[in-house]
Amino acid sequence: MANYKAVANGNWSALATWQDDSTGSYVASTVLPGASDVVYLNNFTVQMDVDVTVLEIRNNSATGVTQGGGGVISTSRTVNADLYHRVSSLLTVSASSPSVVNITGNMPGTVAIATSRGLNITGNCTVNYVGNVVSTTSTAVVNTRAIIVDAGATLNLTGDVYAGGVAGAFSSTNQGNGINLENNSTLNMVGNVYGGFSGAANSGIALSGTNQTISITGNLNGLSGTFIGAPNPAVLLNGTAAFSITGNLTAGQNAPALYGPTATTEVQVFGNVQNASNGYMATIAPYVYLDAAVTQWEFRKSNLTTNTLFTPGVATGHPAEANVRTGVVYGPTNNLTGTCAVPPANTVSLGVPVDNTVGTAQLDTNALAASLTATLAPALDASLSVSLDASLSASLPAAIAPLLWDEDVANLTTPNSIGERVKNCATVATTGAQIASFNP
């Protein structure tokens, strides 16, 4: 590991730009800074004309090093380094679209210096930044910004963002912001945002101007800073912007997650909301819209006990709408309506449980046949009945006669029946037979 310092304005790739202390004292470099080296810009301007991988890039003072200086990125580049900003802008990205600048490394924040910037994006390019970003860790400085995103630029950030702790009275410059978004800039972020810890409107993200586009996947947390003219929110709103947050909003003791009482920015929230334990609101802004995915907002009662408001459909001890009879209105504010359809007992088979009783419908085959007969008989066509009568009248006598007249007399044994009585009646034949039997 060696410490490098710039000794002239020039390109990063030029050996003449550098001295290093690999020999124990600073001498002209024979190799460019490498992955284990720390680079001081030493109050010079260095054009980053090549991709860079070093341990740290700094513009603070040290033994043999003067505070100040900055690097300039004017086209697509890759930079791997932790960035320690101390004064002015550590790195300025002036590249224009369609240039893409990739930066990987944490930005720990300045300690005690005013007007410090870590990354100033002045061109309308796209910057992909991976790492945590801190404005300042000091309460003794003013007007610090970790990253400024200028007009037309896009910052895609993966990492957490922290505001600073600037103290003193609130003003537009007396702030320690993690990220400043200027007019027409875009921020796409995956990570959490934290407000400041002192009292001069230190914001994790501050909107300056109008027409920004912000999409954050992560939580917004207002810290417990002292309120002096303005709180220390995770996000300071201003003007108009397209803003969505997929994550939770949590207030600090004197700091909301969102603050912008006069802003016209409409914020879409896809997460739960929690006010502070002392009752401080998580959002102080005119236009905040909770998505259907939001399930609760935690308030405080006058005695500071928790009072949680739930959205409809959340399991709070009430039955689900699908388990409540159709049309029944219920719920804590009569905001739920049952959708379960229950058939009447006379349409359910006999003995089968339904509602709080059993079915009464006769659904066996004999009952169905009887029901069909009773239903269909009145509808039979009269002409069908006439036709059946005529057909039967013509065919039955001929079919019945042999059965009647050919019956064996010996079979006519039913007492007091017509056949029993008729079989013993005299006929011409029987009378003749009797007379003939007496003639010699």
pLDDT at 307: 67
Ranked by mean pLDDT, which of 17-21, 164-168, 300-304 comes out on top?
17-21
Mean pLDDT of the chain: 83
Compute the average pLDDT of residues 326-339: 80
Q: What percent of the chain has pLDDT over 90?
A: 40
Residue 427 above 90 pLDDT?
A: no
Residue 181 above 90 pLDDT?
A: yes
Q: Tell me the per-residue pLDDT of 91-114, one tens digit each, with 9 for 90 and over.
A: 999 999 999 999 999 998 876 566
pLDDT at 253: 83
**pLDDT bracket for residue 168 (50, 70, 90):** low
What is the model's pTM?
Answer: 0.69
Residue 289 above 60 pLDDT?
A: yes
Ranked by mean pLDDT, which of 269-283, 287-301, 312-326 comes out on top?
269-283
pLDDT at 372: 61
pLDDT at 249: 92
**pLDDT bracket for residue 360 (50, 70, 90):** confident
Residue 245 above 60 pLDDT?
A: yes
Which of 163-172, 190-199, 247-256, 285-294 bottoms out in mean pLDDT, i.e. has the lowest? Answer: 163-172
pLDDT at 226: 65
**pLDDT bracket for residue 386 (50, 70, 90):** low
pLDDT at 220: 95
pLDDT at 399: 59
Q: Return the HEC string of the chain.
A: CCEEEECCCEECCCHHHEEECCCCCCEECCCCCCCCCEEECCCCEEECCCCEEEEEEECCCECCECCCCEEEECCCEEEEEEEECCCEEEEEECCCCCCEEEEECCECCECCCCCEEEEEECCCCEEEEECCEECECCCCCCCEEEEEECCCCEEEEECCEECCCCCCCCCCCCCEEEEEECCCCEEEEECCEECCCCCCCCCCEEECCCCEEEEEECCEECCCCCCCCCCCCCEECCCCEEEEEECCEECCCCCCCEECCCCCCEEEECCCEECCCCCCCCEECCCEEECCCCCEEEEECCCCCEEEEECCCCCCCCCCHHHCECCCEECCCCCEECCECCCCHHHCECCCEECCEECCECCCHHHHHHHHHHHHHHHCCHHHHHHHHHHHHHHHHHHHHHHHHCCCHHHCCCCCCHHHHHCCCCCHHHHHHHHHHHCC
**pLDDT bracket for residue 54 (50, 70, 90):** very high
Which of 22-31, 60-69, 109-118 bottoms out in mean pLDDT, i.e. has the lowest? Answer: 109-118
pLDDT at 219: 96
pLDDT at 163: 87
pLDDT at 141: 65
**pLDDT bracket for residue 151 (50, 70, 90):** confident
